[in-house]
Amino acid sequence: MNRLAGLRASRKGKLALGLGAAVAGLVIFGGTAAANASAVPAAHATGGGVTLVEVGCAPGTVTEPSRPVTVRPVPQEPAGGRGGKTGDNPHCKDIAKAILGTWLSKDCETASQDLTRRRTYVFGRHDVAITYDLYGGAGCNEKAKLFTVTTHGIAKFVDPSATVAEASNVLFTFKSRAATPTAAGLGVLQNACSQYQWVAGVTVDLSKDGCGALVQSNTECPVEYDLAAIISDVAYFGDRSHPLCTEATRPTKLAPWGVVKKQ
């Protein structure tokens, strides 16, 4: 009996270490790897303007699905993260309005070689909540869920992207970050940030100290300089293959994975 228990413990330890190695290269808030995904539908430049499939950050954009319109880029305004703005740019009113509601991952997303994920964005008029559910293996199987990371904060749409025609520059200012492990994910989070007392099903606040390389603290990265676009009813955000904590590190392309609005 003791030998059987020892074998089970050994196997469990190897699983935790293996997933820990997979998580070690994964940074959820600060940067994530994207792999094995289809390309983002592109907008097309026309006549000095930009043809957007649905919603963009410029005057005159309409919100009828699949109806292209041509809009003119507008001068950029100071970003909120530098203290120059307190609200959304009026030129971004269309996407700021269209993004309201709950958005769910369109597909089971590849987070790393051994991990998959699903995301949820809940945009209110004054705040945003973002949830990442991480799973071991392919398929986003609920029985293989490891942990959930949640953030709460404010989203400001500040100006059209100067580098991605179909996108708007958005600032995510975080107020809180937290993680909740399942029993299967306890070892993973313990390896990632052992300063916390991890218990399955119990949420731990990571706002002050973060969780190693997995989740940065509010002090390390209080604002993320991101991109956003809604293309053919699918919302895309910026590539997260590096941290997004400064204007200089704002993405120059959209991530391949999209989210769709919950009906």
Task: Tell which residue, 236, 222, 225, has the closest CA to residue 95.
Answer: 236
pLDDT in tens, 161-201: 999 987 999 999 999 999 999 999 999 999 999 999 999 99
Averaged over 134-161, what is the pLDDT?
95
Into how many domains does the chain fold?
1
The pLDDT assigned to 260 comes to 97
Q: What percent of the chain has pLDDT over 90?
A: 56
Contacts of 220 (CB under 8 A, 6+ apart): 30, 210, 245
Grade residue 126 by pLDDT with cuts at 50, 70 and 90: confident
Predicted TM-score (pTM) of the model is 0.73
Count Cβ atoms below 10 Å from residue 107 Cβ, excluding itself: 15
Whether 111 and 33 have beta carbons less than 8 Å apart is answered as yes
Report how far residue 12's alpha carbon sits from residue 8's, in angstroms, rounded to the nearest whole number.
6
With residue 6 as reference, give the H or E element that holds it. helix 2-24
Residues 242-249, mean pLDDT to the nearest whole number: 92
| Digit-coded pLDDT (tens) for 91-125 | 677 888 899 999 999 999 998 888 999 999 999 98
Alpha carbon separation from 103 to 18, 49, 55, 65, 128 (Å, rounded): 31, 29, 15, 16, 11
Please name which of 170, 166, 169 lies closest in space to residue 50, comparing C-alpha atoms: 166
Q: Would you state the pLDDT for residue 8?
A: 43
Q: How many CA atoms lie within 13 A of 132 on its CB side?
A: 20
Domain around 72: 2-261
Cα–Cα distances in Å, from 60 out to 45, 69, 115?
16, 8, 41
- In 3D space, the residue among 182, 177, 172 whose CA is nearest the CA of residue 133 turns out to be 182
Upper half-sphere CA count for residue 200 (Cβ side, 13 Å) = 8
Q: SS3 of 23, please?
A: helix
Distance CA 147, CA 14 (A): 18
Please write the tens of the pLDDT for every residue from 74-95.
333 333 333 333 366 766 778 8
CB 156 within 8 A of CB 171: yes
- In three-state secondary structure terms, 58 is coil
Residue-wise pLDDT for 35-69, tens only, equals 334 445 544 322 222 222 234 454 333 333 333 32
